[in-house]
Amino acid sequence: MDVRTMTDDLATLVAVESPSADDAALAISARVVAALGTRLLGSAPERHGHHLVWRHGATRVLVAGHHDTVWPVGTLARWPFAIDGDRATGPGCFDMKAGLVQLFHGLATLPALDGVTVIVNADEEIGSTGSRGLIDEAVAGARAALICEPSATGGALKTARKGIGRWRVEVAGRAAHAGLEPHLGVNAAVELAHQTLAVAALGRGDTTVTPTLAEAGTSDNTVPASAALTIDMRGFDPAEFTRVETALRGLRPVLPGAAITVTGGVSRPPMPPSASTGLHRLAHDAAARLGQAAPPGVAVGGASDGNLTAARGVPTLDGLGAVGGNAHAEGEWVDLSAMPGRAALLAALVSEI
C-alpha cells in the first residue's frame, strides 16, 4: 500500500465537509466515499439515505466506520487540509476519514471479500439513530465486528468502551412579574439549580453524570415558568445505568408548586472487555506476522458503533483506524506513515477471521 495514494485519498475525503446534521453536505460526502469504496472494493454500495453498505454474501465479519464529523460547514475555510512531514491535519481527518481510507485500502489487498460486510454510516457522531437498524441487521450471526474508529493514544486498540445515557429534566414553574409580584411566581430556574446539584452528585467511581445544557426563562423581567437540563452519563457497568436512571426518575421538586418531568434513557450500552479479548489476541498474532509491535488495548470513555455490535453478543474490536490525536478538537491530526501498517493489520484480521 502506497502512503502517497492513501494521503491523496484522505485529502479528497477531508475536502468534503460532512457535519452530522447537514443533509446537503452528507449527500455530497456519501457520493465521494461511495466512489472511493467502489474504486477499491470493485463494487458499488447499497445506498440507504446517506449510509453506505457493501455486502459480499452472508456476514461473517462486519467492518464499520462513519463519514460524518462534528465540524460545521465552513471550517475548511479557516483550517484546510495540510501536511507537515508525516503529519496531516484538517477537520475530520482523525475522526474518522483516515480510518475510512485505511479500511478501503486494507480490504482491497484481500484476494476475495466473501463474508465481509462494510457499513459506513452518516450519523455515528449523533448516536447512529438512523443507521442502528442497518448495523443490527448486518451484524446478526457475524463472527466479529471490526470498528475502524481512531486508535487511542499511541495506536492502542479500544478493547472496552463506556456506555452512554442521555436524559432531560424539564421543570414547570409559574411566571410572574419579577419586579411587581415575584412572590406569586414559582421560579423554574431556581428549581433547576436544585436539581442540577442533585444530578451532579450521582457520579461515582468511573461513572460520570454530567449536567450539560441548561436553559430557563423567557425575559429578563419575568420569573421563569420553565427550565430544562440535559444530562450526559458514561459508565462501564450496566448496573450503574439502572442506578442512575432510578435516581433520575425519582427526582422530586424542592419548591412548592414546581413540577418535574424526566425523559431519556440509555443510548449506547457499555462495550465490556470480554467482547474484545479473543480479537485482541488475534490482533497481536497478526501484528507479529506483519513485523509490527503488538498493539496495546485500553478502555475509553467515548462510545461508538462498537457498543452496538458488542450489545448484540458479537465479538468486537475497536480503534482499528488512524493513529493520531485531538479528536473533536482544533488541530486533530493523523500520522500518515502509520496508515499502510494499520490497513495491513485490518486486512490480516479479516483474513484470519
Phi (first) and psi of residue 113, to 5 degrees: -115, 20
Residue 142: per-residue pLDDT: 98
Q: Is the dihedral of CA 212, 97, 326, 63 positive or negative?
A: positive
Residue 123: per-residue pLDDT: 98
* DSSP result, 124-137: GGGT-TTTHHHHHH
Fold of the 3-161+270-352 domain: Aminopeptidase (3.40.630)
**How many Cβ atoms are within 10 Å of 47's Cβ, its own excluded?**
12
Residue 1: per-residue pLDDT: 84
- Tell me how far apart the alpha carbons of residues 280 and 297 are, in angstroms, rounded to a whole number: 7
Tens digit of pLDDT for each residue in 239-295? Answer: 999 999 999 999 999 999 999 999 999 999 999 999 999 999 999 999 999 999 999
pTM of the predicted structure, to 2 decimals: 0.91
- Tell me how far apart the alpha carbons of residues 295 and 19 are, in angstroms, rounded to a whole number: 31
* CATH code for residues 163-268: 3.30.70.360
Angle, to 10 degrees, between the axis of helix 98-108 and the axis of helix 3-14?
A: 140
Domain boundaries, the chain: 3-161+270-352, 163-268
Sort residue 48 into left (φ over 0), alpha (ψ -120 to 50) or beta. Answer: beta
User: Which segments of the chain have a pLDDT < 50?
Assistant: none
